[in-house]
A and B are shown apart, each in its own frame.
Chain A
Amino acid sequence: MSARDNILSRVRRSLAASGDDTQRRTAVAERIAAARPGIIPQRGQLPTDERIKLFCYYAEKYGATTTRIGSITELPAAVSAYLKSRNLPASVRMGDDELLKAADFASEPVLSVLHGASDGNDLAGVSHAIAGVAESGTLVLASGQDNPVTINFLPEHHIVAINAADIGGSLEEAFADVTQTYGKGEMPRTVNFVTGPSRSGDIEQKIIMGAHGPRALHIVIVDD
């Protein structure tokens, strides 16, 4: 018998259950198919304006900065302004994301834009979050050619654009967005839920920002 069979049969023996029991099989299949949400906190079910306010409140509580722009075409100027305010060189890295393309970075000639995955030499990266979670100020980033995972972790500054309409109330709404994009039960290689910049409390429980990931997280909310 293989290790797999041994473990499965030990589970069955301990539970005094059978792997052929159709009732058990149906219970499991139904639960996965229905994937029902459980308890969703009240604060994760607010109307639009309050929801976005709550999202900003928690994102800032966890050390992110936020700004709002009226249209995606204002993104390059917002990125430039951020870099300038932090005394950073006018250079960013990003993937081939459609929303970021629509921003037309060529309109901001002082800004040099590098494309593709980060090799660790970029000071700032720009990503597009597919969803936001108001109840905890969390961004949801999905991996792919459009948004390489390395951009989320290697640059010192991470700038994330998100459509206001994509900011949902709860974790469950974010999962529903992922399922809608990729299909039921399907996921991209990596989905990152990000709440503030990187930190560590490992030395005497004192929280210090910028452990291994970005030291700063700047969120640009795009209203349209």
Chain B
Amino acid sequence: MQITTPHFKENATRAINDPALQQALKNVENGFIAKRRAATDALPEFEQLRDSARDIKNHTLAHLDLYIEEYEKKVVASGGHVHFAETAEDARAIILDICRKRNAKTVTKGKSMITEEIGLNDFFEKNGIEPVETDLGEYIIQLRGETPSHIIAPAVHLNKDQIESDFRRVHTHLPADRDLTEHEALLNEARQVLRKRYFEADVGITGANFLIAETGSSVIVTNEGNGDLTQTLGKCHIVVASIEKLVPTLNDSAQILRLLARSATGQDMSVYTTFSTGPKRAQDPDGPEEYHVVLLDNGRTAMLGTEFQDMLRCIRCGACMNHCPVYHAVGGHAYGAVYPGPMGAVLTPSLSGIEVGGNLPNASTFCGRCESVCPMRIPLPKMMRHWREREFEKHLTPTAARYGLKFWAFFAKRPRLYRTAVSLAMPVLSALGGSKRRIHSLPLAGGWTKHREMPAPEGKTFLQAWAEQKAKGTSR
């Protein structure tokens, strides 16, 4: 995809002024949060499971090289193939090669963020292969030439009437006077159109939520069943997965599965959790003849052993963006990267470089909701802060902000001067507030006061209040 991360500000402004998008975004805040809450409240062991899942991933990451080797052995033993891809480009070339060997014309796809990350659809089209997205949300955005705006709800930025007009534009073989006003009618039409495509496909591609070293299985978690039809009816099943998807055992996957659906959609389990191991067996009447796994690095190994290693625990549930006030305000496309929201703000600079993605960690209020709901206990705000520090060190921060910070730092490093300056500024600001105790405009802060008023300071400075509090505390 076209990375527009450096233009986050412009993207965000456009998003805030887009009434259709703002309408659609209400569904994020209204739906996901309450559903997750109800599901986690109904499972008393949820917090313990979070610790357990964190420990499983930490252990796996600390032994990742060995688990990759064990996993590879099991895949090969079950008749499958493992391909290693260092970069997105390598992964695309490997996948194309497998498809070419099968003379593939059409490829069906289950929902997968990793194939978005490697830009697989565009690449297929340039090479004369038709990719068919089969997840309803992915299908809709493919018709529109868009990318997902959410990692588990790719079309969450759209309203029903927009989808209706896309279906009328594309499905011209259907009667023009058909009724598409209900959600059901739209779903049925997509079901009918896509059903044929599964049977025509030469290759079916899915991602993976987990790779299991104990058995050599790949696991997908879905609600629609499209991923299963994709990987069952295609003659060849290709799994694209990044290396951090590994877990040691089936029982380890159970711990994380209990967190995944609850954190994502508020279900106790998603409708379909499917374990796939190798190609179809000699006696099997259905299933793919070939099974390939493309294991992708694309920047992950460089995160290991750094302050960003914890990010590799991410299971892509989307809870962080569902609870993010910035995401609620601007939606996923404004981030201009494959992965939006808080997890995207941490991951994008890691995968695409700080020069490209360094802007995103600034798109946070540091309210901490993302960390509080992250099932894998990833310290997202802390890692965004690490990126901000790196951005500053690399002189990528905008000039005005740098001067502002330097100006503040000058005083902060000289406490006596700071206190004097503050006690001088206080009465001035207080007077500016007038009888309403509100300041309408401030020099050098016009961008801030343009949208809101600053409350005028009242009473004492924080340091004065702190000192008094402390004195009281000790005398008690």
Contact status A38-B304, CB under 8 Å: no
Chain B residues closer than 8 Å to A8, beta-carbon distance = 65, 68-69
What is the distance, in angstroms, from A171's C-beta to the closest C-beta of chain B? 4
Which of A28-36, A83-91, A99-107 participates in binding chain B?
A28-36
Q: Report the Cα distance A10→B296, complex, angstroms.
A: 13
Chain B residues closer than 8 Å to A15, beta-carbon distance = 62, 64-65, 304-305
Chain B residues closer than 8 Å to A180, beta-carbon distance = none
Which B residue's beta carbon lies closest to that of A9?
Answer: B65
Q: Report the Cα distance A4→B45, complex, angstroms.
A: 39
Q: Which of A10, A62, A199, A200 has the most CB of B within 10 A?
A: A200
Contact status A12-B65, CB under 8 Å: yes
Q: Report the Cα distance A144→B140, complex, angstroms.
A: 34
Chain B residues closer than 8 Å to A136, beta-carbon distance = 268-269
Contact status A185-B257, CB under 8 Å: no
Q: Mark B275-286, 1 if CB is under 8 A from A, else 0.
A: 111111101111
Kindly state the interface size class of chain B when it binds its partner. Answer: 35 or more
What is the distance, in angstroms, from A141's C-beta to the closest C-beta of chain B? 10
- Does B163 make an interface contact (CB < 8 A)? yes
Q: Mark A1-20, 1 if CB is under 8 A from B, else 0.
A: 01110111011101111010
Which B residue's beta carbon lies closest to that of A96?
Answer: B285
Chain A residues closer than 8 Å to B98, beta-carbon distance = none
- Does B187 make an interface contact (CB < 8 A)? yes
CB neighbors of A among B200-252 (8 A): 213-217, 223-226, 228-229, 232-233, 243, 248-252
Q: A28-B66, A189-B287, A213-B224 are in contact. Are A202 and B137 (CB under 8 A)?
A: yes
- Does B86 make an interface contact (CB < 8 A)? yes
Q: Which of A24, A37, A197, A203 has the most CB of B within 10 A?
A: A203
- Does B272 make an interface contact (CB < 8 A)? yes
Which of A72-80, A123-131, A145-153 participates in binding chain B?
A145-153
Q: Report the Cα distance A216→B85, complex, angstroms.
A: 41
Q: A185-B214, A188-B277 are in contact. Are A203 and B183 (CB under 8 A)?
A: yes
- Does A70 make an interface contact (CB < 8 A)? no
Chain A residues closer than 8 Å to B277, beta-carbon distance = 187-190
Residue in contact with B74 in the complex, picked from A19, A185, A205, CB distance below 8 Å = A185
What is the distance, in angstroms, from A34's C-beta to the closest C-beta of chain B? 8
Residue in contact with B223 in the complex, picked from A152, A153, A211, CB distance below 8 Å = A211
Q: Report the Cα distance A2→B86, complex, angstroms.
A: 10
Chain A residues closer than 8 Å to B267, beta-carbon distance = 62, 195
Q: A62-B271, A149-B228 are in contact. Are A28 and B135 (CB under 8 A)?
A: no
Q: Report the Cα distance A203→B181, complex, angstroms.
A: 12
Question: What are 19 A-B contacts defined by CB distance under 8 Å?
Answer: A3-B84, A3-B85, A31-B249, A62-B268, A145-B283, A148-B284, A172-B254, A179-B250, A187-B277, A188-B277, A189-B276, A189-B277, A189-B281, A195-B271, A200-B137, A202-B137, A204-B24, A208-B187, A210-B187
Known: A138-B269, A198-B223; 18 extra A-B contacts, CB below 8 A, are: A14-B305, A15-B62, A28-B70, A38-B56, A38-B252, A39-B52, A62-B271, A150-B286, A187-B78, A190-B287, A193-B272, A196-B271, A198-B225, A200-B137, A205-B27, A206-B183, A211-B187, A213-B272
